[in-house]
Amino acid sequence: MTRALTIAASDSAAASGVQADLRVFAARGVYGVCAVTLVAAQDTRAVRRLYKLPASIVGAQIDTVLRDIGADACKIGWFRSPELTTLIAGRIRRREIRQVVLDPCLWSANGAVLTPPRTVKRLVRELLPCTEVLCVTVRELSVLAATPIETEEELRAAAERVRSLGARSLVVEDAFGEHPVWAGIGAELQPVAGRTTGATRLTDEGGLFSAALTAALAAGAALPEAARSAAAFVEAARADAQAPGRGSLVWSIPDGGVR
């Protein structure tokens, strides 16, 4: 059995966070387990309230599922506190999790800040060295590498910078030109998937992408293959877009089961 762990927030609308990650894992044939970092009172339009779980409870969740079930890969999504950064990094080292995908969730789709600057600084210092694959947008990469990115040369330079900070490889979801998905190690970053068609946009497409990437890595795929598989998954998910509420479209496993 292939297994994957997601460490992320709980979304009460189930359009993002651990709920969406677990659906993606199941759709890709991976058994998913989770550790919740935040509880969000959230609908398909906005986050209404947040409750940050104590670090001790987050650590207990990670320890409990890994002792019993284990994980072939791990996705780290949204959390807010510097203390959780240290805890998660420590658990990754202690439990020797190898395929760690970090999706840092710095901003929401409407531009709201999700992760405070103090947490971002500690993430760079403590969590990047534990990361196998950093999965980011160009804007997020620019912040983490502390450098502007407007050209492919600057993109590769930023990739080399985050490698020097500890992230062993990188996937960029929204790069330049006709091939927006790039993957690789440092300056060897290369385009791996072409631009998708259609205007349909789903809630938290970046989260769906990183969850599908994590599932592919857990199943043993190499990074370029995993990135192409994740891009294809998001494209197919758009065809299954539904509007369960009065807000944005979400992905759901279609009637009749997983494709």
Average pLDDT over residues 226-250: 85
The tally of domains found in the chain comes to 1
- Residue 180 is assigned to a structural domain of this protein: yes
Residue 247 CB-density burial (10 A; 0-12 exposed, 13-18 middle, 19+ buried)? middle
- Residue 89 is assigned to a structural domain of this protein: yes
Q: What is the CATH number of the domain that holds 247?
A: 3.40.1190.20
Phi, psi for 103 (deg, rounded to 5): -115, 95
Average pLDDT over residues 184-209: 79
CA 134, 100, 129: angle at the middle one, nearest 5? 65
Tell me how far the alpha carbon of residue 223 is from its chain's centroid.
Answer: 14
The percent of residues in the chain predicted with pLDDT above 90, rounded, is 69
- Residue 259 is assigned to a structural domain of this protein: no
Does residue 103 surpass a pLDDT of 80?
yes
- Residue 258 is assigned to a structural domain of this protein: no
- Residue 256 is assigned to a structural domain of this protein: no
Q: What's the per-residue H, E or C state across the chain?
A: CCEEEEEEEEECCCCCHHHHHHHHHHHCCCEEEEEEEEEEEECCCCEEEEEECCHHHHHHHHHHHHHHCCCCEEEECCCCCHHHHHHHHHHHHHHCCCCEEECCCCECCCCCECCCHHHHHHHHHHHHHHCCEEEECHHHHHHHHCCCCCCHHHHHHHHHHHHHCCCCEEEECCCCCCCCEEEECHHHCEEEECCCCCCCCCCCHHHHHHHHHHHHHHCCCCHHHHHHHHHHHHHHHHHCEECCCCCCCEECCCCCCCC
Does residue 251 surpass a pLDDT of 80?
no
- Residue 23 is assigned to a structural domain of this protein: yes
Does residue 256 surpass a pLDDT of 50?
no
Name the residue type at position 69.
I
- Residue 118 is assigned to a structural domain of this protein: yes
Query: What's the pLDDT band for 227 if we cut at 50, 70, 90?
Result: very high
Lowest mean pLDDT among 140-154, 168-182, 243-257: 243-257
> Residue 23's domain spans which residues?
3-251
Tell me the range of 42-51, 76-85, 249-258 where mean pLDDT is highest: 76-85
More confident residue, 42 or 228: 228
Average pLDDT over residues 128-142: 95
Query: What's the pLDDT band for 199 if we cut at 50, 70, 90?
Result: low
- Residue 25 is assigned to a structural domain of this protein: yes
Name the residue type at position 75.
K
pTM to 2 decimals?
Answer: 0.93
Reading the block at residue 250, the tokens are 């979400």
